[in-house]
Amino acid sequence: MRNLRILITTALVIALSSLGVSAASAADRVATNCTSASRAQAPAARAIAAPVTVWLAGDSTMANPSSGRCPVGWGSQFDALFNSDVTVRNQAVGGRSIQTWLYEGNVSSTKGSDGECRLTSTTYSSRWQAMLNSTTGMKAGDYLFIQFGINDSSSTCPRHVGPARYQQLMTMMAQAALARGAHPVLVTPVAAITCSGSTATKNRGFVNETFAAGSATRAPVIDLQTLSVSLYNSLRFCPNNGDYGGSGPLGTFFCNDHTHFDTYGAQRVAGLVAGDVRRKNLPLAAYLR
Contacts of 281 (CB under 8 A, 6+ apart): none
User: Candidates 3.40.47.10, 3.40.50.1110, 3.40.50.880, 3.50.50.60; correct CATH number of 52-287?
Assistant: 3.40.50.1110
> 186 to each of 37, 132, 148, how far by Cα in Å?
37, 18, 9
Count of CB atoms situated within 10 Å of the CB of 12: 10
Contact 78, 88 (CB under 8 A): yes
Mean pLDDT of 37-42: 42
Contact 173, 124 (CB under 8 A): no
Residue 244 has pLDDT above 80, yes or no: no
Mean pLDDT of 204-220: 98
Q: How far apart are CA 65 and CA 50, in angstroms?
A: 29
Residue 49 pLDDT class (50, 70, 90 cuts): low
Q: For the chain, how far is it from start to end, CA to CA, in angstroms?
A: 78
pLDDT of residue 271: 98
Pairing assessment for the beta strands 143-147 and 199-200 based on DSSP bridges: unpaired
Mean pLDDT of 239-258: 83
pLDDT (tens digit, 9 = 90+) per residue, 180-198? Answer: 999 999 999 999 999 999 9
CA dihedral 250→255→256→257, nearest 10 degrees, is -110
Select the more confidently predicted residue: 112 or 2: 112
pLDDT of residue 163: 98
pLDDT (tens digit, 9 = 90+) per residue, 123-149? Answer: 999 999 999 999 999 999 999 999 999
Q: Please name the residue ranges forming H helices in 117-182.
A: 126-132, 163-179
- pTM, two decimals, is 0.83
Please give the mean pLDDT across all residues of the chain. 87
Q: Where are the domains of the chain?
A: 52-287
pLDDT of residue 156: 98
